[in-house]
Amino acid sequence: MAGEAVVATDLSKSYALFDSPLQRLGALLRRRPPTRRVEALSGISFELPAGESLGLIGENGAGKSTLLKLVAGVTRATSGRIEVRGRVAAILELGTGFHPDFTGRQNIELNAAMLGLEPAEVRDRLPEIIAFAEIGEFIDRPVRQYSTGMSMRLGFAIATQVDPEILIVDEALAVGDGYFQKKCMDRILAFKERGKSLLFCSHALYYVSAFCERALWIRRGRAESLGETREVVQAYESYLLRREAGREEAERAELSSRREDEPGATLGRITRVALSGGEAVGPSKRFAPLAPFEVEIEWETDDASRPFHLGVGIDLESGLTLASFSSRHDGVPPFVGARRYRVRLELPRLPLVKGIYRGTVFLVDKEALHVFDRRGLDEGFAVSGAEFHHGLIHAEHRWVADQAS
């Protein structure tokens, strides 16, 4: 297969909005256009060459799934044109295309026939599809009895076993255990090695970078960036970082407004938190893996005799704390004897792999029990590099091989 597998030209998709089913029915009967519409996609254009992979990235609600449905033929564009050359198999929302009252076996036959397979081809491939899905005796039970994981297994097995020219995957790897995710990844890699085309949507940027040569970032229904995967992913990560920094700024402003009315606020108050080093990306910072990392903290107090300790936490965007540092637990004497302080936390090598992170600084008492003040890092930060790694940290290590015999 040569040329372009998918060509999208100025695609747009909008949906009518009604306040109630009755209002929708009235509009249909009177043949009146809806008074309100929401634009899911606007002016999207891209090409997917045969044998290549394109990743779709963006926030929830950006329009990624809508675009995949247009390519899959599940829905039609409001305007624009899309050309798809070759058999398409799509893994969209779980259960899409399944009849809930049919058994798994019957749904395999139905879906394979809808994808253009002859009855003889369906019979030949049925055992492999069932074996890959690994749902046991449930293959002969109604799909409505399946868990989400079982539905995903069956859908993935069908879509990849019918041998399409174009495979569309929408967050399918987000469901299922690690064992089955590995099977899915191996199947996708084998699909690519056979020279087929892949349209892959995921919030897991690791998978997008591993599977796709190019990426399309969709923001609020429009194409924000299209190009080589690494460049598009970095642009998207920088955007997320700036958005997070803006959220932190709003939280700080709200906290500052509350402090003005709080009694005893000057017992200890953080006045500045900043990162040193890294590459500036707007108000944020981007660090290379294992680069030096410093947090500079300033605070003030009205009581020079009051002792203080510091704590610093580094978190994922989800709020999970990856690392914490405490001046008290590290044996540093309390900070005491002044009204203003400036202290640095220095990490010779930042042990984090690629990702976007947040941080929080705590100003605490001598026993590290009472929190006088807390503050998020003035800049969020990201770690980026040429390669992706599983996990969250990069631990110092070495490989030692004994003589093989």
Whole-number pLDDT of residue 389: 62
Largest CA distance in the chain: 87
Phi, psi of 238 (to 5 degrees): -65, -40
Which residue from 188, 274, 229, 288 is spatially nearest to 54, judged by alpha carbons? Answer: 229
Provide the residue-wise pLDDT of the chain in tens; the chain has 405 residues: 468 999 999 999 998 777 777 777 777 777 776 667 788 999 999 999 999 999 999 998 899 989 999 998 888 999 999 999 988 888 876 556 788 899 999 988 888 887 777 888 888 888 988 988 888 899 999 988 988 788 888 888 888 887 889 999 887 665 566 667 777 888 888 888 899 999 999 888 878 888 899 999 999 999 999 999 988 988 888 788 777 666 656 655 555 554 544 444 468 999 999 888 777 776 677 888 888 889 999 999 988 999 999 999 988 776 778 888 999 999 999 999 999 999 999 999 888 887 788 889 999 988 887 888 988 875 678 787 666 666 677 777 676 677 655
Are 352 and 394 a contacting pair, CB within 8 Å?
yes
User: What ranges do the domains of the chain cover?
Assistant: 4-235, 262-383
Whole-number pLDDT of residue 301: 92
Class of the CATH-defined domain 262-383: mainly beta
Whole-number pLDDT of residue 83: 94
In whole angstroms, what is the distance from residue 241 CA to residue 256 CA? 22
Alpha-carbon dihedral angle through residues 93, 95, 99, 101, given to the nearest 10 degrees: -150
**Bridge-based pairing state of the strands 309-316 and 321-326:** antiparallel
Phi, psi of 178 (to 5 degrees): -60, -35
Reduced DSSP (H G I as helix, E B as strand, rest coil) percent helix, strand, coil of the chain, to 5 = 30, 35, 35
Inter-axis angle of helices 119-133 and 104-114, to 10 degrees? 130
Domains 4-235 and 262-383 fall in the same CATH topology: no
Q: Which residue has the tokens 């809508």?
A: 66
In whole angstroms, what is the distance from residue 259 CA to residue 357 CA? 26
pTM: 0.63
Q: Please count the CA atoms within 13 angstroms of the CA of 111 that sit on its side-chain side.
A: 31
Whole-number pLDDT of residue 37: 79
For 163: left if phi > 0, alpha if psi spans -120 to 50, otherwise beta; the answer is: left
Instruction: Tell me the CATH architecture of domain 4-235.
Output: 3-Layer(aba) Sandwich (3.40)
